[in-house]
Structure 1
Amino acid sequence: MLELATYFIVLFTLQLMVILQGGSSWWFNLIWASFFVALFLGRDKLYYPPDHPHVKLRRQNIRLWLGLFILLIFFNLYFSIYVATQHQSAITSFFTGQVFKGGSAWEEKRLDHMAHINQRHEHVTLKGTIRSAVDIDGNRVRFDLKVETINGSPLSQAEKVAVTHFVRTLKERERYIEVQRGDEWEGVVELTRAQPARNPGAFDYRRYLQQRGIHYTAYVRDLGNIRSRPGVVDQLLNRADQYRLKWIGQTEALFGEQTASIVQAMTVGYRDELDRQVLEMYQQLGIVHLLAISGLHVGIVLGCLYLLLSRLPLTRETIYLILFLVIPVYIMLSGWQVSVVRAGLMAMAVLICFFFRLRHHSLVGLYVVYILILMVNPYYLYHAGFQLSFATTFALITVVPKLYPLLPGKSERLQQAVAVAVVAQAVSLPVVMYHFYSFSPLALLINLILVPLYSVVYIPGAFGLTLVSFFSLDLIRLPAWAYEESLNLLHRGLEWLYRLPWATVNTGQPGWWWLILAFVLLVILGRCAELRQKGAVGLVLACFSCLLVLQPLLPYLDRQGYVMVLDVGQGDAIVIEAPYRREVVLIDLGGQLAFYQEEWQRPSRTFETGRDVILPYLRYRGINQVDKVIVSHGHYDHFGGIQGLLGHISIGMVLYPPVMPQSDFERLWLTRIQEKGIPLYHVSKQDHWGNNEIQFLVLHPPLPQGGLAKQTHNLHDYNLVLWNKIYDTTFIWTGDVEEPGEYQMLDAFPWLQADVLKVAHHGSHTSTSEPWLAQIKPQVSVVSVGGNNRYGHPDREVIRRLAESGAPLFRTDHHGGILIVIRPGQYSVVPTLQADREQVQ
């Protein structure tokens, strides 16, 4: 029975993946055919002689097989219709129908207009119903709006839009404070398509919204009317939001800022106030599940409540009923997180079995909840939290009971704790590495210590202290102080571990072959544990460990070189990986200047290029050390990203132009670099380094007389320019050099040419002169530039010169990050936002 149910779930999952990916119909035939192959292989279990006492069981098994097969076909139809509906947009149909009704060239105009909608649309008036909680963060207000009319005309079907409003005044912000789910909202907005991932490994906001059935984002230009009209369901959800906010406020009154944010995360899943560095520390050390409400937290809540209720004069059935009613309330208070819904539904199923004294198996309950959640939204299948929650729970149910007796030791509880930690880590690691590109070698040991500690002390303490504080804050001041001080002490220890150079390893995103191999090893581990083959279990765990070690070593076996011109907006950041990963060089660090804001306007989290763009890409590529950081010059759009990198990734050395710091920002961060023990060198014309596969030569600027330049009215005069060669492919990295610098290089290096030219100063008219292009003769040109920037970069004259030179132009504002893959004798350019690959020999 359980084997059949498990096989069905595997086929169900494969079928759903094919549907979500838009696979061909022959995949369905293959999946369904495998169902009958399994039936044939297991025919001995279905055949009994007519006089056999279990002949009725045979009939039941056959009916079960046929029933599951019919379910597969049903789910195929259900999810196919769901996905087809999800991809339709009533807003797109509205615009194409309104603008182009009739006409001989309708289809051509429709496609042109669709391309326009995909980028940006004119201002329109939307009217609809708010379908989410209103998130207010500084001057930014966000919510989902179910749009019913556009410019007064009704849509064929109401459609959700993600609305963002950057309010201009405090009075305008206060209008949203009382706004709730279910209220009617009207305003003038600018409709756009959400941004896709603009760099490899980055968060894909467009895909995230599409999986929620949202095709457009709306930026408010003029706020109209807001009218309260919540229905019964909305009132219930709003009441849950209010209780959640009240709980959050109580934790802030009871604890300090950092402890309160951790208690909020552990009790009601609220992470908005959680310090980003603390959250990153938990993630990198592999213990973030302690802050994400899951079966552990639900079990603790129900267990503590059961102990309290069992001391009252209540029957066991009454206690089960009370616990059953508490679960959906807690799910609502925790924000409907997938892991809570999964744990809550499973607990409700178990309580029903207890109440009616039915036989049950946890695995069947897990499968039922799995299918129910995917029927609500099949795209949950791709969510990291969903995958971690169900994969880990499945492994704990099936493997741990068979594994722990095989472990050495006399204490059964210790054996179980070790088995739980080993199995949970082994199952979660492939998922974590695929989604987050790193893991901690210390995770197993830390979890062995912290999971029992949090289960016994910190999670129950968070619930208990907060609950009692509603009755009397003074009564628990001392216990709350002890709780907070012990948690702070624990965090200081975790911070010490986190700062160790080997505490986390960036592995890069594993390929499918690696994931399949890891999955096969985990299945073999479970089978060996079931057969009680102790030696085989140890061998499989050793093979799995070798597979983990292999992943971060793979780049050192790759003979290709990689150059990534990252999309950092109006700035430069270029990551160069030498063949066989013999060197990693980062040229410039990007950076976006923040404008002055009043205190009420400041969001809880601001964008930082180094932390939010460069560091995720380095993790995606499995880079654990940058050997050289080359700063072309000290302007913020080339050096600002150092704030998010320093202390978060190992840096071998920093190369800087031959000029003293010209701003307070430069002085501050160059000092911090040296305080970290990172060597700082000033380089100038003719400096060079390299090996057989990769070489660098500094072309500009020359070393000033008397050493470093003390002051300069134009920092671009001392901008570093480098010639770079990987195998036979040559590059020139220009930074923001201007025409006088170009002429100096042409005079000093008459042989100078390059296959790939980084267009200087984001395409400004002050650079990229015709004589420069005439000598360099680039085959490809790349410009790093922000979309719709206020400088008008790249300049039209520069674009014309590049077009006349015959070099195709790749722009980060159009193509996103631009990857150049170098092999001996050839290279290819792969834009992130373009499927086509341009192969240049």
Structure 2
Amino acid sequence: MRALFFAAIACGLLSSWLVDQQWLAAGLLLIWLLRVIRLRDRQCLMVTIGCVLSLAIWLNWQNHRFASIVQQPSQVVTSHLAVQPDAITVRGGQYQLIATSPMGKVLVRGQLKSATEKQYLTQFTHRTIWHVQGEVAAIAPPTNPGQFNAPRYYRSQGIARQVTVTAVQRIEIAPQRGWLVLLDRLHQWRQQFFLACQRLPPTLSRYATSLLVGIRPTDFQTTMGAVQQLGLLHWFSLSGMHVILLVKFLQWVLLRLHLSQQAIDIWLLGLLPAYLVLGGGADSLRRAVVTAALPIIWQLLTHQSSGALGGWSLALIMGIAHNPLVLSQLGGQLSYGLALLLILMPGLPPWRLAIWIQVISLPVLLVATAQWHLWSLAVNLVVAPIFSWVLLPVTVVGASIGFGSTNVTSVCEWVLVNFQNGLEWVSHWPGLLIIGQPSTLWAWTLSLLSLWLLRTPRRRYYWGLLLAYACFSLSLRFPLHGAVQFIDVGQGDSILIRQPFNRQVSLIDTGGQLHFSRPRWQAEQVQPRSRAETITVNYLHRLGITHLDTVYLSHKDVDHIGD
């Protein structure tokens, strides 16, 4: 299993180099390969070189394919799209689909024409075939640093183009044949569960869809802000803990049915892929399912137990082959990184494990959010047992028998609302630090120092890591040179002016959007946030800026000062 581990780390560095264009990863890959050579282990060297060469060919082909697709000019097409019911999202007067077409997997956007059409789309429970006409083009990249990178996100799902629908000719139920019948049924059950949860109280509904089938409602970002601020988002992403609890529960049930261990293993191998589909197939869930299934397969084939490290290594190699960007995304980084930490440091007291989780994940969180809450460590320690023993069981009970019992639903809702209120209360305590977003070099430096500290926990290395964070923060907050930066906020203007060392930080205009009256059915369930909040503030936080000395408003037009 040591050979697989060295091969997995090499593959991770290779993907960061070839896919994410991080040249520092190329140097680290060379160092890692020299380390493998110095082991003088022929099997380890052969496995590592074989995996690296095979994956390099695959990743280069993937890069070339996506680059050629993106460079194709936009064109008007008439096509048919296969759409699963749980791949339809409706917001306000617009809809979005993830569909399979003759062009491959595509993102589909369109405008709703009436309230009846909106109601019609939200009630689909079967796979459908859409015959549409629209414009096919590459997915637009972000226009500001730190903004949501749609092309990268959708590429991780195998999507390179989007279809903007101009006319829907007809929609029909897809015929069911072959092995697709089972897959369609799983997607159907997932969508039916989501629709059923809409009849539950709001908090219970939100927890049930997020924790049980991996669907986050449209109001998740606004109603669960405390979860993200306190660093608890990983608890609400289907991953290892959910799979472990599911496997233990299934083993308990199957043992009570007096099945043999071999029969139990076969049942688990059949149910784990089904749960992967029901849970939405996220990278973190895929990693957990593969890690849980591989030891079972190895046991059935060889009658020998395999270590968790071997399962993790194979899961990483398979995860990169399936999604070359898995280690470029926050979910994949935290899922694989924290799972490896649990494997390499078993038996640690919960408080020490929580500290190491914070130390290892902090550089990753700063790249993604540019902030960290001082109370996140304490809150994670408290939430860990509550989540396993209270929140998840309450959610399961409320989403299973709550439909037929108002009293059960009310009790479950009361528990979850009070927990949510507690998180909101703690999130308003002083302690939210806007640190800034590290550059690629700083992110690698802080991550490697954290890993070195984990390997050699000595006092001088603690101080070295703190000094590195202090240098990074000072270099970001007090730049040697001034800058004039234009923030893309749409039609209007927003210009940031910074003097050297940030002695004076000024903003000219804020941008803004004109709002026109719309029919009530087109109103969104959640009031959209302004671009100043979603774009400008994030842009400033990425630079470590928390205070503006001056804001200049050029004139009173909405597109200049509306936000």
Alignment correspondent of 1:440? 373
Pairing of 1:204-353 with structure 2 (within 5 A) = 204-230=149-175, 231-254=177-200, 256-353=201-298
Deviations along 1:753-797, one digit per CA (max 9) or x if unpaired, are xxxxxxxxxxxxxxxxxxxxxxxxxxxxxxxxxxxxxxxxxxxxx
**1:567 is the counterpart of 2:547:** no
Give the direction of change, closer, same or farther, for the CA distance of 1:251–1:190 in structure 2 (3 Å limit): closer
Give the letter for the 2:189 counterpart: Y
Would the aligned equivalents of 1:497 and 1:503 in 2 still touch at CA under 8 Å? Answer: no
Secondary structure at the aligned position of 2:140 is classed as: coil
Name the amino acid aligned to 2:69: S
Q: 1:39 to 1:305 in 2, by over 3 A?
A: closer
Report the 3-state secondary structure (helix = DSSP H, G, I; strand = E; otherwise coil) of the residue aligned with 2:325: helix
305 and 464 in structure 1: CA distance in 2 versus 1, 3 angstrom threshold = farther
Residue 483 of structure 1 pairs with residue 412 of structure 2 = yes
Structure 1 residue 172 displacement after superposition: 4.1
Share of identical aligned residues, percent? 24
Shift in alpha-carbon separation, 1:237–1:461, aligned structure 2, 3 A: same
CA displacement at 1:343 relative to structure 2: 0.7
CA pair 448-177 structure 1, distance change in 2 beyond 3 A: closer
How far did residue 160 of structure 1 move?
A: 3.6
Cα 1:17/1:177, change in 2 over 3 Å? same
- 8 Å CA contact 1:269–1:292 kept in 2: the answer is yes
1:625 to 538, 542, 547: 547
CA separation of 1:550 and 1:298: change in aligned 2, threshold 3 A: farther
Q: Is the 8 A contact 1:507 1:551 kept in 2?
A: no
| Structure 2 match to 1:193 | 138
In the aligned structure 1, how far is the partner of 2:205 from the partner of 2:117?
29
Q: CA deviation at 1:432?
A: 1.1
Match of 2:68 among 82, 88, 91: 88
Q: What residue in structure 2 maps to residue 781 of structure 1?
A: none
Tell me, yes or no, if structure 1 residue 361 matches structure 2 residue 313: no
Does residue 427 in structure 1 map to residue 364 in structure 2? no
Match 2:534 to one of 600, 607, 612:
612
AA matched with 1:368: L
Q: CA offset at residue 450 of structure 1?
A: 0.7
Alignment-derived partner of residue 340 in structure 2: 394
Q: What is the TM-score with the length of structure 2 in the denominator?
A: 0.89
Deviations 1:700-731 (A, max 9, x none): xxxxxxxxxxxxxxxxxxxxxxxxxxxxxxxx
Is the contact made by 1:506 and 1:552 (CA closer than 8 Å) also made in structure 2? no
Find the residue that maps to 1:307 and give its secondary structure: helix
Contact 1:91 1:159 (C-alpha < 8 Å) held by counterparts: no
* Cα shift readout 1:356-404 (whole Å, capped 9, x = no counterpart): 6422111110010111121122122322211110011111211354xx3
Asked if the contact 1:164–1:217 (Cα under 8 Å) also holds between the matched residues in 2, the reply is yes
Query: How do 1:732-771 and structure 2 match up within 5 A?
Result: none
Shift of 1:417: 0.8
Does 2:57 match 1:138? no
CA deviation vs aligned residue, 1:567-624 (integer Å, no higher than 9, x gap): 1112232333332123433332222122222232223453521222112212211222
Note if contact 1:294-1:389 (Cα within 8 Å) is conserved in structure 2.
Answer: yes
Verify: 1:8 aligned to 2:7, yes or no.
Answer: yes
Structure 1 equivalent of residue 78 of structure 2: 126
1:387-536 mapped onto 2 (5 Å cutoff) = 387-401=333-347, 404=348, 416-469=349-402, 473-474=404-405, 477-500=406-429, 502-528=430-456, 536=458
CA distance in structure 2 between the partners assigned to 1:288 and 1:343 by the alignment: 17
CA distances 1:679-704 after superposition (whole Å, capped 9, x unpaired): xxxxxxxxxxxxxxxxxxxxxxxxxx
Cα 1:591–1:31, aligned 2, differ >3 Å: closer, same or farther? closer
Residue identity in the other structure for 2:512: G
Letter of the structure 2 residue corresponding to residue 269 of structure 1: G
CA–CA distance in structure 1, aligned partners of residues 159 and 419 of structure 2 = 42
What SS does the aligned partner of 2:110 have?
strand
Under a length normalisation based on structure 1, what TM-score does the superposition of the two structures give?
Answer: 0.61
Secondary structure at the counterpart of residue 559 of structure 1: coil
Amino acid paired to 1:168:
K
| SS of aligned partner of 2:199 | helix
- For 1:527 and 1:634, the matched residues in 2 are separated by 58
**C-alpha distance in 1, partners of 2:478/2:50?**
48
Partner Cα distance (2:400, 2:39) in 1: 55
CA RMSD of aligned residues (A): 3.1
Deviates further, 365-374 or 322-331: 322-331
Per-residue CA deviation, residues 416-438 of structure 1 (Å, 9 max, x unaligned), is 21122112211211111112221
Alpha-carbon separation, structure 2, partners of 1:90 and 1:505: 38
Number of the residue aligned with 2:498: 577
Distance 1:581 1:504, change over 3 A: same
Task: Between 544-553 and 513-522, report the one with greater CA deviation.
Answer: 544-553
SS in 2 for 1:446: helix
CA distance, structure 2, for counterparts of residue 583 and residue 71 of structure 1: 52
Give the aligned residue type for 2:11.
F
Higher helix share: 2
Q: 1:493 to 1:543 in 2, by over 3 A?
A: farther
Question: Aligned partners of 1:387 and 1:131: how far apart in 2?
Answer: 30
Q: How far apart, CA to CA, are the structure 1 residues paired with 2:121 and 2:411?
A: 38
**In the TM superposition, what is the alpha-carbon distance from 1:266 to its structure 2 partner?**
1.7
How many angstroms apart in 2 are the aligned matches of 1:188 and 1:246?
29
CA distance in 2, matches of 1:360, 1:342: 17
In the other structure, the counterpart of 2:51 is 71
Taking the aligned partners of 1:610 and 1:458, their CA distance within structure 2 comes to: 35
Post-superposition offset of 1:298: 1.8
Deviation (angstroms), 1:440: 1.3
TM-superposition CA deviations, 1:465-495 (whole Å, max 9, x none): 322336xx22xx4444333223322322322
